[in-house]
Structure 1
Amino acid sequence: MSIVSGYKKFKKYILTSSGFQLVSHWTNANTLQFDDGKTAQAKLGAIDGISSSKDSSSDKIAASTKLVSELNSNLGGQFGGMTFWVNDTGDPCVTYKVGADSVSKKLGRSPIVITGIYFSLGHGAVNDGGTIGACGFSKDNHFTFDVTDYEIMTIGTVSISDKNTYDSSYIRCTVGSNSYTLKSGLAIDISSAKSATLYANPSGYGNLGASVQSTVSVSSITFS
């Protein structure tokens, strides 16, 4: 007869003085084989028990599902419910809650602070006091920053000192296709930009041909 595949389960009993008793054949972890060919000793022999204790330091005790669930809950609370993940371009990202909204951000470099940004301006005006003067400026007088790995650009204190009464200079910032007039404490979204450019923009009224002199500065810019 041929040997058929599969298994047939059965129980074996022997007759004793007390009646029929179930037989259990002796075996060993080194002789019990799993479907992958490994023995029970090779797969499970290093485990010396299961515990829910957070104080165990043994590398032979397995953590129970109760302990794992508790640690996951603690971890979520510790990090404010943040979820870490990797986007399609391989960048590490984090998603967290702000009120009822979910906010996702790419994790970049450590925050960097730039200090002492200063412009000194001088420009002329047309001789028709009361109309906007010809206040040209050179965009060569600028600062450009690589913001590829950052999300937010936060402006420190903006200081402007105009020499003449009718002058009004300011600092502009170009991020991608957007342009901003910088104000103290302003936060600009730079998450989709590769660079940010700051330049001083002189502006004033003619004031009967008086030249315009201004100084404009930013105490600090933080990229985060």
Structure 2
Amino acid sequence: MSIASGYKKFKKYILTSSGFQLVSHWTKANTLEFDDGKTAQDKLGAIDGISSSRESNSDKIAASTALVSELNSDLGGLSFYEDNTGKYVVGADSVPKKLGKVPFMVTGLNFYVQRDFNDSHGGAIGSSNSLYFSFDIAEYETMSVGTVVTTQTNTYDTSNVFYKVDDGVWVKLTSNLVLDISSNSLVTIRPAPTSYGNMNSTGSGSVKISSIIFS
């Protein structure tokens, strides 16, 4: 019978000490051995196939090189790493992108910073009034300024305005007062231009810490 029309079935035996043994022309995964001594079953037995599908979620299907190449092209070598400032950034190709910072606020605080002062103003107080209460924020942790209590008789309305003291540091005044930043750390509080009245402040004052914002 020719090869074109088919083939003849045949069996092959070998003579062993226990007699003739049938020789199989097919190998199995547990009989095919590699140079490292591991069988095909050890190396590939858990794989049911190879696929280029993005939709497959089987842990028994291996990804094809075509799929790996496609994903690498889409992601552009996306990776996370820590820069020299200790912050984590995400990089794609050669252009890293900052992950950014999410601002959050701690509220409901109720403690005071005590300061002595000696300042006096008579008559109407306008926008050109002198300094009236100062403290150095460098002596403290990042904080927000709350209600200012002094010996003067004026009471200012709540404004709930946040002022930026430094990069990432904001302060909130719960009284209608104004923050002046005369240096990187010196904070001066004075009455707002819309507030008028006598202010004879000699004694001590307190800054109430009401909230902290991290941004």
TM-score class, shorter: 0.3 to 0.5
The alignment's TM-score, normalised by the length of structure 1, stands at: 0.43
The alignment's TM-score, normalised by the length of structure 2, stands at: 0.44
Which one has the largest radius of gyration?
A: 2
